[in-house]
Amino acid sequence: MKRTQEGLPLRLTGLLVAVAVLGVLCLLSVWLGSKSIGVTTSWRLLWHNDGSSEAVIIHDLRIPRTVLGLLVGAALGLAGALMQAFTRNPLADPGLLGISAGAAFAIVFAIAVLGATSLYGYIWFAFGGALLATVAVYLLGSQGRAGASPVRLALAGVAVTALLGSITSALVLTDPAALNRYRFWSAGSLAGQSDAALWRVAPFLIVGGVLALAIAPSLNSIALGDDVAKSLGRNLAAVRVVTVVAVTLLTGGAVALAGPLVFIGLIVPHMARAITGPDHRWLLPYSLVLSPCLLLAADIIGRIISRPAETQAGIIVALVGAPFFIVLVRRRRLAEL
């Protein structure tokens, strides 16, 4: 207890610094873009919309895009931290374990087969696809006497992702309209969503985030093993149901808004764990703040490196995440698990 109390000021200071960094990135996201707007002008228009073309860019495009980055980044970071705790798998991530692929497949199916045209029309399919993929990966990874080991779950996720990706490709290739929507969206981007779409999905992400933070103490107990968690009075079935619901809401909503972004839920929880240790009461808030930092930074870099066009944020994150994944596998010696 004494060690925990001694570490409290350091953890709180680190969290406040992360929030400050996130605030700076939000300002940069509003300032930087394909059209150059001065710092002074951006700051003035941020607080006073005078109806000019620059004000329209800031208020109708960049501010919603920044809010989207905040919500989607926080959702994917929390989902990744929950999955790593739930499966006790350091490789768990909505993108790597097939959950994002499940949501993406369901959305494409709704567009190409059922004719859904609006975000509110196919958001329910995203949630359903994410839930079915979660269940499928866990069932496949749990087969055999060894149970759900990290390697089994990772392999099951790869298999489910490959299968759903193939079916998704087949669907979009037979439907030109779905293909046009899917090409840009599949790379993972914060561009192209309206205010209305953002505010319609935001409640689902907020509910998922509240559920995630609420079960943090229970996740600490589960990390010690099922027997210990039961002896501490935890209802394992209830915790697992809440975790699955939270992951489904967070991943389904994030994929519907920004596409199947990968690696955010893998990278950030490990970064947060290096600061906070295994305590999920701190790990989840850190993931909540650091994940949008990563996504907004990637989005800003994508706007700068290819002006006047832009590189999707999902591509930048993948360039960072793939080497991190390789290093993580080598450090963990997962082949021995």
Do residues 108 and 170 lie in contact, with contact meaning Cβ atoms separated by under 8 Å? Answer: no
Q: What was the pLDDT predicted at 1? A: 45
Q: What was the pLDDT predicted at 110? A: 85
Q: What was the pLDDT predicted at 2? A: 47
Per-residue exposure over 195-217, b if at least 16 CB sit within 10 Å of its own CB, e if not: eebbebbbebbbebbebbeebbe
Do residues 128 and 99 lie in contact, with contact meaning Cβ atoms separated by under 8 Å? Answer: no
Q: What was the pLDDT predicted at 184? A: 63
Q: What was the pLDDT predicted at 334? A: 45
Query: Can you tell me the distance from the alpha carbon of 231 to that of 226, in angstroms, rounded to the nearest whole number?
Result: 9
Q: What domains can you pick out in the chain, each with its CATH number? A: 67-336 (1.10.3470.10)
Q: What was the pLDDT predicted at 335? A: 43
Do residues 80 and 265 lie in contact, with contact meaning Cβ atoms separated by under 8 Å? Answer: yes
Per DSSP, which regions of 182-335 are E strands? none
Q: pLDDT 10s digit of each residue in the chain, 337 long?
A: 444 555 678 889 999 999 999 999 999 999 888 777 888 888 888 888 887 888 888 888 899 999 999 999 999 999 999 988 887 777 778 877 788 888 888 888 888 888 777 766 777 888 888 888 888 887 887 776 656 565 677 778 888 888 998 888 888 888 776 677 677 667 677 877 777 778 888 899 999 999 999 999 888 887 777 777 777 778 777 888 888 889 889 988 888 888 878 889 888 998 898 888 888 999 999 999 999 999 999 999 988 887 777 888 888 988 888 787 777 666 655 444 4
Q: What was the pLDDT predicted at 337? A: 42
Following DSSP, what letter does each residue of 72-111 receive, concatenated? HHHHHHHHHHHHHHHHT-TT--TTTTTHHHHHHHHHHHHH
Query: Can you tell me the distance from the alpha carbon of 74 to that of 213, in angstroms, rounded to the nearest whole number?
Result: 12
